[in-house]
């Protein structure tokens, strides 16, 4: 027989706010419980689901950046931490200054042989090294999607700026958790085709990072150095800066200088089939600045080299020299 609480005790409990209705009891989602003592049928099927957070993996830090050279060979794992392959290169959109694709070799992990696969950068998250574990790129795609992905021979890279290649990538990955637009169906990618050398070659802004590194940098028509490496923001794929190696130019030592991507402009010479960068700032600013060495890489570009900054030096001759060639 149910015991009755004294009226005075009931009033005290209600006034203190300590009374918990039976309808809030935690019996698990979708479970109905019968309280035999009160005769009340408790329905908790409308409870909100409990969201579980994976606290074992480090969060993606907005301050994490890696050099392009360091990304080569980094492991690629899935969300279950299974090793799938490794990065062979990253493909850049030099006009936007960001990583467009990651070229991955899966080897025998997925039974796809020695082919390479260009996967949109948006499909990856970056896990930095921690607690004795090496850094890796984690891909949020199923193994089925990866096995059926369009691949190519590592000895014959396709024109990744061609509409056919981009449409094939969009068609395959657009429906599987990757934020890309879906392209047309039944697209055939000829990975051996070579675009004609014209002033408006379709691949003029798409380049592998390994090709961009060591590219000459010109101030007007004089070579002042080369690109030694690229610092890439891993959460976004944006290029934080290009490391300029001056190599003794105009009395400078072998220091490196962190140039914002806007401080250089990429150009392809179709007549000689060569690439180079134009410097968008006066080289005197670099000469008057302190660089860094291979053991002390900054996380961000040097703000002195921002083309929009007012350093009291006229930049118009350098900017105009490039603008009319776009």
pLDDT at residue 311, rounded to an integer: 53
Do the two domains 65-173 and 213-323 of this chain adopt the same fold?
Answer: yes
Confidence label for 30 from pLDDT (cuts 50, 70 and 90): very low
User: Which tokens is 128 given?
Assistant: 């930095």
What is the CATH T-level fold of the domain 213-323, as seen in this structure? SH3 type barrels. (2.30.30)
What's the rounded mean pLDDT across residues 290-311?
Answer: 86
Span 214-266, pLDDT tens digits: 999 999 888 999 999 999 999 999 999 999 998 765 556 668 999 999 999 98
Contacts of 10 (CB under 8 A, 6+ apart): none
**Within 7-161, where are the H helices?**
7-16, 68-71, 143-147
**Structural domain spans, the chain:** 65-173, 213-323
User: Which tokens is 140 given?
Assistant: 């949020």
What's the rounded mean pLDDT across residues 189-210?
Answer: 54
Evaluate if residue 45 carries a pLDDT over 90. no
Buried b (16+ CB within 10 A) or exposed e, 150-188: bbbeeeebbbbbbebbbbbbbbbbbeeebebeebeeebe
Q: How far apart (Å, rounded) are the C-alpha atoms in residues 217 and 228?
A: 11
What's the rounded mean pLDDT across residues 10-21?
Answer: 45
Region at 114 (left for phi over 0; alpha for psi -120 to 50; beta for the rest): alpha
Span 124-176, pLDDT tens digits: 999 988 888 899 999 988 888 888 888 898 899 999 988 899 899 988 987 54
Beta strand 136-139 with 124-127 is antiparallel
SS3 20: coil
What's the rounded mean pLDDT across residues 91-112?
Answer: 85
According to CATH, the superfamily of the domain at 65-173 is: PRC-barrel domain (2.30.30.240)
pLDDT at residue 112, rounded to an integer: 57
What's the rounded mean pLDDT across residues 104-128?
Answer: 83
**pTM for this prediction:** 0.69
Q: Could you tell me how far CA 214 lies from the centroid of its own chain?
A: 22
User: Which tokens is 89 given?
Assistant: 């290169």
With 0-12 / 13-18 / 19 or more C-beta atoms within 10 angstroms meaning exposed / middle / buried, residue 54 is exposed
Confidence label for 38 from pLDDT (cuts 50, 70 and 90): very low
């Amino acid at each position: 027989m149910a015991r009755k609480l004294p009226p005075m005790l009931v009033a005290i409990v209600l006034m203190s706010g300590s009374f918990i209705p039976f309808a809030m009891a935690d019996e698990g989602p979708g479970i109905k419980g019968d309280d035999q003592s009160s005769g009340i049928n408790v329905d908790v099927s409308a409870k909100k689901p409990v969201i579980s957070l994976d606290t074992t993996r480090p969060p993606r830090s907005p301050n994490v950046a890696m050099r392009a050279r360091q990304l080569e060979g980094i492991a690629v794992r899935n969300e279950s931490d299974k090793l799938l392959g490794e990065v062979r290169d990253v493909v850049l959109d030099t006009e936007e200054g960001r990583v467009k694709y990651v070229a991955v070799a899966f080897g025998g992990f997925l039974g796809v042989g020695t082919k390479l696969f260009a996967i949109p950068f948006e499909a990856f998250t970056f896990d930095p090294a921690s607690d004795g574990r090496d850094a890796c790129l984690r891909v949020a795609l199923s193994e089925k999607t990866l096995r059926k992905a369009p691949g190519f021979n590592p000895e014959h890279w396709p024109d990744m700026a061609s509409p056919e290649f981009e449409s094939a990538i969009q068609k395959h990955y657009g429906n599987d958790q990757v934020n890309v637009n879906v392209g047309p169906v039944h697209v055939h990618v000829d990975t051996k085709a070579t675009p004609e050398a014209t002033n408006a070659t379709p691949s003029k802004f798409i380049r592998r990072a390994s090709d961009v590194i060591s590219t000459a940098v010109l101030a007007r028509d004089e070579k002042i150095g080369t690109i030694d490496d690229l610092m890439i923001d891993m959460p976004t794929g944006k290029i934080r800066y290009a490391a300029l190696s001056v190599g003794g130019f105009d009395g400078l030592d072998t220091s490196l200088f962190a140039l914002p991507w806007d401080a250089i402009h990429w150009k392809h010479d179709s007549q000689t089939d060569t690439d180079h960068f134009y410097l968008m700032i006066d080289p005197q600013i670099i000469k008057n600045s302190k660089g860094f060495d291979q053991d002390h890489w900054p996380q961000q570009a040097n703000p002195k080299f921002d083309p929009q900054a007012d350093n009291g030096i006229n930049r118009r001759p350098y900017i105009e020299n490039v603008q009319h060639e776009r």
